[in-house]
Chains A and B, each alone.
Chain A
Amino acid sequence: MNSKNQLFLSTASVAVISATLFLWLWLKKRPPAEELNQPAMIQESPRGRHLTLQVANPEPESADASPVVLTLAAQQASEKVLELTRAAKFYKYDPTILAYQEQTNRNGHYVVFSTPSHAAQVLNGKVLKMMSFHDNSNADARDPDAAKSWYQCTGTWSEEEAVNETLELLKRLQDTNTLNAVAAGRREFKAVPISVTTPGGEKVRVSPFPTVRLYDADNILRVKAEYRAGATGVVGLTDWFNNR
């Protein structure tokens, strides 16, 4: 072996040893895998990965929306939302979860889901609130076009029908705590008529959102259920507040 070859081998050996040493040191600096996987107190949902979710509506309206990955706890919470949507017919509900936010603290577990059509809050395994973005009485605060279809809500609903449907919904949810709480409280029904304009510019008066409020004996609002009127009768639930 001549001196030229020796020099080449020596240089190559030094390079290999240096690279090995550098790789070893770099790997040594990384934290263990379990430390990396520690959940943050507040988790923002990652995007862009597929999730197979059991949904009430097998054909989401916005199929191109990015599905998200749920933590196990969030997935369990999403099941509670699905339970509610199976028990109640939510108007124009799209179950595709666009994003969620999860908090775990000493008081329990809280998740809020956002879909193209609705937001749902689950607090310790119970749906506290579910509301439509585009089709409830508050929708015009978020969607300037929301009120444009309200002229179609010419159907009416009696107080008895509305209250009974709300109580039946609680029964379907097997929410005996709330049922017992509201048994002795007052019940309120409002179907406020408002003026809306048709696409032709004509003004008509309709009551698009008959709403039931159920209070407990202390006059605390326990349940608010807002429905959407259709051409005849009611076409679905748009807002749900269950203060457990």
Chain B
Amino acid sequence: MTTRQGALVGAAFLLLTAFAATAQSLVSGGGKANHTARPLTGSFHSLTLNQPPFPFNPFPDLPVTQIKPGVYVYDDRSVEYVALRAEIAAKQAEDNAMMSAMKTMQVEDEESMGGGGMALMMGGSGPRLSIELVDGLAKRVSFNTQTGLVYRVEQSTNLQNWTLLETIVAESTNEAFFSFEQPNRFYRVIQNDDRIQFPDWQGFIEQYLNFDVWSSIQGTYHLELYGDGSLLYQTTQTVPVDGRFGVYDGQYDPNQWPNTGYYSVNNWELRVTVTPAAASQGSPQQPAQATVTKKSRRRNANRQGVTVQQYNAFAISVAVQEEIDNWMVIYFLSCYQGAPQVALDGSALNEFTTAGGVPSLYGTNWWSQLKNLVLNRTITDLHYFGHGGVSIIGSNRVNEGLTVGELKSSLLTTNPMTYVALDGCRTSENTDMLRAYIGHSGNIPRSDFREKGWDVRFGWGWKNAKPIGFVTQGTLLYKHFYFVGDYYYKLTERDPFNGYMLNTYEEAINFGQHPNPNSAWDPFLTRNTAGDSINYVGCYDCFFDE
């Protein structure tokens, strides 16, 4: 094992984990070791300390008593807590020092590092996990990153056997993954060798194959490109002075975009090895290696969409529901101009006769139909109005919502949507959900889409809890609907001669926020702040009809 290879292991555990790991060596007079007979997971209370329980057994060697199913008390009367805490503090200090030393070390031999990375690195500047419970149904685990570095996310149920959950190449300084309904699950993040990095990373390929690599090592690189497991290309060359190299499709012609075409390969893998030149100073460095993957993504040839509301989502009067129904018709007719609309059963809808029958979600069966359309990439466009959250549209009730977890494990990962409008509370408090739908998380200019061979996609939601529903006395909060209406009104305006749409998403949104006072709905509305908390991602200067 080299100095840095596999080193810089992330501090992926809470202090409690280290506490437990260290504690095992400080237990005196523990009971008979019979780990297999003793539970390792559950809720573990201390016999001597008044503290919250552990989600795992911190002292597997000590006697444990079950007080009810899944709840245990461990007998820690023999634990010397003062010495234990001193030990942990000393270990932390040592680890910090080691982390600092590792960052400055240029050359080390395998033996001096113990032949591998450290499994538990507390402190230091490695990734630190932050766990957030979102919408009561998912844990969002985020961690600090360095853009372009590779991170391995691993999971375990017993802190001993770890399996790879996901490999992430950081696109920014913070990345996240989700844990859905995974009891007794531990995660750790391991930062790979930082001598090979992947700048401007996007984990997918649409119409332009490219892998950009950067290495701090001066020497030679060898890269191998695999497509669906077959070696497609390999080369060995000297690392350029600026450290940048890579592989890309030289046949890609951006002038042909957005109709350049797709590759037949589904999964791409790049293996890079960089070997330092002969030692010039001190001991020779070890080669650095990295393997990264990208998925091919495609866009359905023909767009079709669903405009749908969660019916009676706000416990309102019949009159107000009728008003919402009328707004849904306006949205439906607008969305029809971007993509032909279908019912929840997938049958085509007619823009002239469907006005009274815009799809609605009444309950579990209707949600199942919507899930079928979305998760099986049947539709490319979705306008949703109803309840929402950071990781869900719909309700937390069983089968009456669509979660990020379902989206991330669906065919949307290879066929993201073209357009999604999530008109519900907090649907875009962060961009996780929009990203799960359309595969992008930032505001990206059209020129970037063209440059990188990406299909045009756009999505929007709300950053905050929208008082969409109703102010006191059951009155509809019209300005919210005015904004969405004005946005669509402006977005779908067409040139009278050639029929193309005239306004970009960005322009339509800004018009809705500032109709001054030419709102299609309120002649006196100069400034509509109801639209200020919109959050949008994707190609903001593209058109709805492309």
Chain A residues near B (Cβ < 8 Å):
44-45, 98-101, 106-108, 110, 112-114, 119, 121, 123-124, 128-129, 131, 133, 137-138, 140-142, 144, 147-148, 190, 192, 194-197, 209, 216, 218, 220-222, 224, 241, 243-244
- Interface: B502 (CB within 8 A): yes
A131 touches B254 (CB 8 A): no
B518 touches A129 (CB 8 A): no
B502 touches A141 (CB 8 A): no
- Interface: B546 (CB within 8 A): yes
A112 touches B502 (CB 8 A): yes
Measured between beta carbons, the chain A residues less than 8 angstroms from B523 are 106-108
CB proximity of B506 to chain A, nearest CB, Å: 7
* Binary contact readout B501-522 vs A (1 if CB under 8 angstroms, 0 otherwise): 0111011001101101111100
Measured between beta carbons, the chain B residues less than 8 angstroms from A140 are 255, 257-258, 450
B493 CB contact (under 8 Å) in A112, A142, A148 = A112
CB proximity of A178 to chain B, nearest CB, Å: 10
- Interface: B462 (CB within 8 A): no
CB proximity of A23 to chain B, nearest CB, Å: 40
Number of A-B residue pairs, CB cutoff 8 Å, is 108
Task: For the complex, give the distance between the alpha carbons of A161 and B517 in Å.
Answer: 32
Can you identify 14 A-B contacts, CB atoms within 8 angstroms?
Answer: A107-B520, A110-B518, A114-B497, A119-B497, A124-B518, A144-B259, A192-B445, A194-B254, A194-B447, A195-B254, A195-B451, A197-B253, A197-B254, A218-B514
Q: In this complex, which of B446, B519, B527, B542 has the most chain A Cβ atoms within 10 angstroms of its Cβ?
A: B446
B542 CB contact (under 8 Å) in A121, A129, A138, A190 = A138
Task: For the complex, give the distance between the alpha carbons of A129 and B497 in Å.
Answer: 16
Measured between beta carbons, the chain B residues less than 8 angstroms from A194 are 254, 447, 450-451
- Interface: B500 (CB within 8 A): yes
B255 touches A148 (CB 8 A): yes
B496 touches A221 (CB 8 A): no
B516 touches A244 (CB 8 A): yes
Task: For the complex, give the distance between the alpha carbons of A156 and B525 in Å.
Answer: 40
**Contacts A113-B496, A114-B496, A140-B257 known; 12 new A-B pairs at CB < 8 A:** A44-B496, A112-B494, A112-B495, A121-B502, A123-B518, A133-B495, A137-B541, A192-B448, A197-B254, A221-B507, A222-B510, A224-B506
Measured between beta carbons, the chain A residues less than 8 angstroms from B518 are 107-108, 110, 123-124, 244
CB proximity of B378 to chain A, nearest CB, Å: 25
Measured between beta carbons, the chain A residues less than 8 angstroms from B529 are 218
Measured between beta carbons, the chain B residues less than 8 angstroms from A218 are 513-514, 527, 529, 532
Measured between beta carbons, the chain A residues less than 8 angstroms from B503 are 129, 241
Measured between beta carbons, the chain B residues less than 8 angstroms from A137 are 446-447, 541
Task: For the complex, give the distance between the alpha carbons of A141 and B503 in Å.
Answer: 13
Task: For the complex, give the distance between the alpha carbons of A44 and B541 in Å.
Answer: 28
CB proximity of B273 to chain A, nearest CB, Å: 29
Measured between beta carbons, the chain A residues less than 8 angstroms from B419 are none
* Binary contact readout B444-484 vs A (1 if CB under 8 angstroms, 0 otherwise): 01111011000000000000000000000000000000000
A129 touches B255 (CB 8 A): no
- Interface: B498 (CB within 8 A): yes
Instruction: Give the top 8 A-B pairs by smallest Cβ distance, nearest first.
Output: A114-B497, A101-B496, A221-B510, A99-B497, A192-B447, A141-B546, A99-B496, A107-B523
B493 touches A121 (CB 8 A): yes
Task: For the complex, give the distance between the alpha carbons of A129 and B445 in Å.
Answer: 19
B254 touches A112 (CB 8 A): no
CB proximity of A131 to chain B, nearest CB, Å: 7
CB proximity of A185 to chain B, nearest CB, Å: 12
Q: In this complex, which of B255, B504, B507, B523 has the most chain A Cβ atoms within 10 angstroms of its Cβ?
A: B255
Task: For the complex, give the distance between the alpha carbons of A190 and B494 in Å.
Answer: 27
A197 CB contact (under 8 Å) in B255, B514, B527, B532 = B255
> In the complex, which residues 429-452 of chain B have their Cβ closer than 8 Å to any Cβ of chain A?
445-448, 450-451
Measured between beta carbons, the chain A residues less than 8 angstroms from B448 are 192
B255 CB contact (under 8 Å) in A124, A196, A216 = A196
B514 touches A220 (CB 8 A): yes
- Interface: B543 (CB within 8 A): yes
Measured between beta carbons, the chain B residues less than 8 angstroms from A144 are 259
B511 touches A243 (CB 8 A): yes
Task: For the complex, give the distance between the alpha carbons of A224 and B541 in Å.
Answer: 11
Task: For the complex, give the distance between the alpha carbons of A222 and B527 in Å.
Answer: 12
Measured between beta carbons, the chain A residues less than 8 angstroms from B504 are 138
Task: For the complex, give the distance between the alpha carbons of A131 and B519 in Å.
Answer: 22
Chain A residue at minimal CB-CB distance from B514: A220
